[in-house]
């Protein structure tokens, strides 16, 4: 693992997949170089913010189940190539660590990169440079930028597929999506409008909300906390919980773990996909924060 000089708040681990651990006065985080995958994030004074399956694989080329997978350059199954990895290749490829530094305000910022290669072009025939900045402070800030290095325009999808940890998903709600259009993947992709004041979880839930730039909050009555998912440069939000049957079908997802997680994913997917002209860049930003609420 080639690394730039690391600041005091960052240490490395080679156990299994290589990762960087951040421990500063605002909190802790762990980032695997494969997929630039933030797997853990624990703000000071709070419980773990991200869910990670006890059955997750940590193996080369295999997605980590939980944390914040980066979906790029497509979301979901590839439209025509079932042999290609779901959610694109970014989450199963090694990213480089380009910079790591402690900021004057005590935050730690780590910058990672992924550039096109013969391996990526065999799956997606475009030249690109992707950079991902993770900043660990009172907020966990994530910034995914993509630049078109090609001689022609291209269109891509992207998502920060965030698995949030909850005490009980059946007592959790997602707020901020009222009135938004969504594709209901549990109902054959039917297109609906969410009239409810909040998304609740009483069955498998898999919704791609489109045309929404809203900040969402995940209210967790069980743990007495609220996680805010603020965003910029994103017009899609995905809300997902596999519930009982789908959790049981996934080998890297414990059968009973579904009650402890809810995905609130920040994306540009389907008709919200991003088109870049040669030389043009796009930036997607997410700010995660946790607040105690109620008693």
**Residue pair 148/279 in contact by the 8 Å Cβ criterion:** yes
Cβ distance to ligand TA6 smaller for residue 43 or 73:
73
Q: Is 161 a catalytic residue?
A: yes
Question: Applying CB under 6 A, which residues contact ligand TA6?
Answer: 63, 76, 86-87, 161, 185, 206, 238, 240, 263, 265
Choose, from 161, 203, 204, 226, the residue flagged as catalytic.
161
Q: What is the DSSP letter of 60?
A: T
Helices (H), the chain: 118-121, 243-249
- Taking the complex as a whole, the smallest distance from the CB of residue 159 to ligand TA6 amounts, in Å, to 7
Name the E strands within 3-53.
10-13, 19-24, 27-32, 37-43
- Taking the complex as a whole, the smallest distance from the CB of residue 98 to ligand TA6 amounts, in Å, to 26
Structure tokens given for 121: 């072009």
Angle of CA points 221, 264, 51, to nearest 5°: 70
Residue 14 exposure: Cα atoms within 13 Å on the Cβ side: 3
Q: In angstroms, rounded to a whole number, what is the distance separating the alpha carbons of residues 242 and 232?
A: 27
**Residue pair 146/282 in contact by the 8 Å Cβ criterion:** yes
Q: Which of 12, 16, 18 is nearest to 36 (CA)?
A: 18
Q: Is 265 a catalytic residue?
A: yes
Cβ distance to ligand TA6 smaller for residue 42 or 87:
87
Cβ distance to ligand TA6 smaller for residue 30 or 87:
87
Cβ distance to ligand TA6 smaller for residue 161 or 231:
161
- Taking the complex as a whole, the smallest distance from the CB of residue 55 to ligand TA6 amounts, in Å, to 12
Q: In angstroms, rounded to a whole number, what is the distance separating the alpha carbons of residues 237 and 170?
A: 20
- Taking the complex as a whole, the smallest distance from the CB of residue 186 to ligand TA6 amounts, in Å, to 9
- Ordered strands of the 216-220 beta sheet: 96-102, 108-115, 128-136, 140-148, 281-292, 225-232, 216-220, 172-175, 199-200
Angle of CA points 291, 35, 20, to nearest 5°: 65
Choose, from 265, 271, 275, 282, the residue flagged as catalytic.
265
Cβ distance to ligand TA6 smaller for residue 77 or 153:
77
Cβ distance to ligand TA6 smaller for residue 110 or 144:
144
- Taking the complex as a whole, the smallest distance from the CB of residue 39 to ligand TA6 amounts, in Å, to 14
- Taking the complex as a whole, the smallest distance from the CB of residue 263 to ligand TA6 amounts, in Å, to 6
Which positions are annotated as active-site residues?
161, 265
């Amino acid at each position: 693992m080639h690394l730039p000089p690391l600041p005091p708040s960052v240490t490395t681990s080679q156990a299994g997949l290589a990762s960087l651990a951040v421990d500063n006065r605002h909190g802790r985080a762990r980032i695997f170089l494969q997929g630039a995958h933030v797997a853990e994030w624990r703000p000071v004074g709070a419980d773990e913010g991200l869910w990670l399956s006890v059955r997750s694989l940590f193996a080369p080329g295999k997605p980590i189940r939980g944390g914040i997978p980066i979906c790029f350059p497509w979301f979901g199954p590839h439209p025509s190539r079932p042999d290609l990895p779901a959610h694109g290749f970014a989450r199963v490829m090694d990213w480089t660590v380009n910079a790591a530094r402690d900021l004057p305000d005590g935050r730690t910022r780590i910058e990672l990169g992924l550039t096109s290669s013969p391996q990526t072009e065999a799956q997606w025939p475009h030249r690109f440079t992707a950079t991902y900045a993770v900043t660990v402070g009172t907020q966990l800030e994530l910034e995914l930028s993509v630049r078109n290095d090609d001689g022609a325009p291209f269109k891509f999808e992207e998502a920060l597929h965030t698995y949030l940890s909850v005490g009980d998903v059946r007592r959790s709600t997602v707020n901020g999506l009222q009135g938004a259009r969504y594709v209901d993947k549990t109902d054959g992709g039917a297109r609906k409008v969410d009239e409810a004041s909040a998304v609740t979880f009483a069955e498998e839930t898999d919704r791609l909300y489109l045309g929404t730039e809203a900040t969402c909050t995940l209210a967790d009555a069980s743990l007495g906390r609220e996680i805010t998912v603020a965003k910029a440069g994103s017009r899609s939000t995905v809300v997902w919980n596999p519930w009982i049957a789908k959790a049981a079908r996934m080998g890297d997802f414990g059968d009973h773990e579904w009650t402890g997680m809810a995905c609130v994913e920040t994306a540009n997917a389907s008709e919200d996909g991003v088109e870049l002209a040669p030389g043009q860049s796009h930036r997607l930003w997410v700010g995660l924060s946790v607040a105690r609420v109620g008693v």
